[in-house]
Structure 1
Amino acid sequence: MALNVDKKYNDEKKTWILKPKGEIDIYTAPKFKEILLEVIESKESDIIIDGEDLEYIDSTGLGVLISGLKKLKETDKNIIIINLRPNIVKLFEITGLNKVFVVKGV
């Protein structure tokens, strides 16, 4: 499955909003990482990842999120993940990443 990522900057909230559509897996993670690093380097701000259209994420995708978060924490910024499907929320809970990221399910 392919991955498309809509990205926009909210000037009012000074926050990037990334909306991945499809799957973040071993095949699509490099593209997602490229987009994530691009927005981190362009503006110093928090990033909201809207998972409404995210169907699946594997360990490679989780690794990309963790590396992005580490980079953001250097400037005291955060990744907030919203609108996740129940199966993906469960993955965050099983891995303990719900304690690392701000995760808000559907």
Structure 2
Amino acid sequence: MSSYYILSPRGFIDAQNGSDLRDRIISILVEQPRDVVIDCKDVEFMDSSGFGCLVSALKRVREQGHQLCLSGINSQLRAVFELTGTDRVFPIFPTLDDALAHLS
């Protein structure tokens, strides 16, 4: 069993998709607590509700003593993280391999 879990959402992360993603992360923590990588290479857009769900998930993961990393975010998503200052809160890596190397 690996020490991390990889999630690969697609398309838009909005209130519904963000809530589903957060719930999946919480279930991971209940089943087998471990670090989580969200590979965002196929995420086109994230609205404020989806962003809020991601922040909530980060808080829950950290409460369990684990890490939540993001990889492969596009320039539009990066701008959102930079504008909100959360690029200093979320570990963000250019590729999935970079994120996994960080967790190793």
Give the TM-score of the pair, scaled to structure 1: 0.80
Give the TM-score of the pair, scaled to structure 2: 0.82
Report the AA paired with residue 40 of structure 1: L
Give CA deviations for 1:45-95 in whole Å, capped at 9, x if unaligned.
110000000011111111111111111112221110000111101110011
Greater share of residues in helix:
2
> Which fold has the larger relative contact order, with Cα–Cα distance below 8 Å and residues 6 or more apart in sequence?
2
Give the superposition deviation at 1:35. Answer: 1.7
Alignment of 1:30-45 (within 5 A): 30-45=19-34
Aligned-residue Cα RMSD (Å) equals 1.5
Is the Cα contact below 8 Å between 1:15 and 1:47 reproduced in 2? yes
* Structure 2, unaligned runs of 5 or more: 96-104
* Structure 1, unaligned runs of 5 or more: 1-10
Alignment of 1:1-106 (within 5 A): 11-12=1-2, 14-105=3-94
Question: Residues of 2 paired with 1:74 and 1:33: CA distance?
Answer: 14
Question: Residues of 2 paired with 1:82 and 1:20: CA distance?
Answer: 11
Greater share of residues in strand:
1
Identity %: 27
Question: Residues of 2 paired with 1:48 and 1:29: CA distance?
Answer: 15
Question: How many pairs were matched up?
Answer: 95
Report the AA paired with residue 91 of structure 1: V
